[in-house]
Structure 1
């Protein structure tokens, strides 16, 4: 049985609501500078727009996004005002939101075999994924070179299996992130760079 996109989004909505109250969202948005004063356009509206309302925010016109937002949340905002709110603080807010959800979801106790906990202080898992972007994004997300596209984004995550904590979450250009830059302490480590 296949799960539809709307069903997946509904499950994601339930996760956000069960872990993060509207007050928590507001506080997180203030902490990263996305919300600086009381406004009709709030952090929850950005989430609604980017997660539930539009299947493809990057390819939908601002006019259509404004209309969708008004239809679904009753928040009326001009396309230009909406454009101004798609900024670095909005990206940071969404990154922090994802990190917070992942931390809360995965910090539940996970049974780890006792012999490992007595030998190792940490079991660090570092992984990343990368994909190409249109060349217009090369100044923000530089690619690694050697391919037909000059732009690419990499998402990297480092997780400590024993503590259940995320140690590092980063997004950036492919050329700007390296797995070799992490775990530089005197810890023993096994690394797969394939």
Structure 2
């Protein structure tokens, strides 16, 4: 569970963009709030978006405990359960789109001497759905995966898409290839690794930072001995903390890459 101290900066960032009075009005407009009650809409928002690793994985008892700890609101399991309805969905969607429309407010200072024109961070989140939603196949029943790409300098979302829960991250990387520009830097985790995708990023004059899978072999050219295998893990044992090794031009060979 995230501590109350850790949540405060995130909550304050939301309230600096959408005031509590405006947030409560959205709750009334979406009929999430129809009469005065114990549960404030801002506390429900924090509960669903900041307080837990995954609301769907926690019991009502745990969520009530989190709510009591974070906002001093005492609510029964039955009362909290009744609030997870279509109106709550409409309220959370409205807040998301309101924040999305105001993303220009989150502009980071731009260094004129920066190495890259854009830093593109791509990641995905997955969660289960009710079993009757069979159009979205998950790893265990029904599930959905949301892909999101964020640009660091301007604080803008570049890409968002919804897929079934088993959709490949590698294939999702193909969706953003048309928007690549020279001097972009792409940051992604190992799930997006694809030799073909990295070639296309390089062809566009962009750069990337990625871990490499275990089935990847690296080779370094030596003018006297030809191509020699490189083992970064072994080389790391011989350098001091903070020291780096620049291999220059290397050849990357993937022994097997799944389709």
Place the TM-score, normalised by the shorter chain, in its bin: 0.5 to 0.7
Q: Which residue of 1 aligns with 2:142?
A: 151
Shift, 1:20, TM fit:
1.0
Q: Closer, same or farther in 2 for the Cα pair 1:140/1:31, shift >3 Å? A: farther
What are the within-5 Å matches in structure 2 for residues 2-13 of structure 1?
9-13=7-11
Larger radius of gyration: 2
Q: Which has the higher helix share?
A: 1
Q: Offset of 1:58 from its aligned partner?
A: 1.9
SS at match of 2:49: helix
**1:34 to 1:76, Cα distance in 2 relative to 1, 3 A:** same
Are residues 153 and 67 of structure 1, via their aligned partners in 2, closer, same or farther at CA, if it must alter by over 3 Å? same
1:100 to partner: Cα distance: 0.6
Which structure 1 segments of 5+ residues have no match? 110-126, 158-164, 175-189
Q: Is the 8 A contact 1:143 1:151 kept in 2?
A: yes
3-state SS of paired residue (1:153): strand
- Return 5+ residue gaps in structure 2 as ranges: 108-121, 149-155, 166-177, 181-196, 198-259
Q: Which residue in the other structure is 1:78 paired with? A: 76
Structure 1 residue aligned with 2:61:
63
TM-score between both structures, scaled by the size of structure 1? 0.59
Q: Is the 8 A contact 2:60 2:81 kept in 1?
A: yes
Give the superposition deviation at 1:37. 1.3
Offset of residue 62 of structure 1 = 1.1
Residue aligning to 1:123: none
Give the length in aligned residue pairs: 168
| 1:29 has 2:32 as partner | no
Q: Could you say what the CA RMSD is over the residues aligned between the two structures, in angstroms?
A: 4.5
The normalised TM-score by structure 2 is: 0.46
Structure 1 or 2: more strand by fraction = 2
Q: Please list, as runs of the form range in 1=range in 2, the aligned pairs for 1:92-107 lying within 5 A after superposition.
A: 92-106=90-104
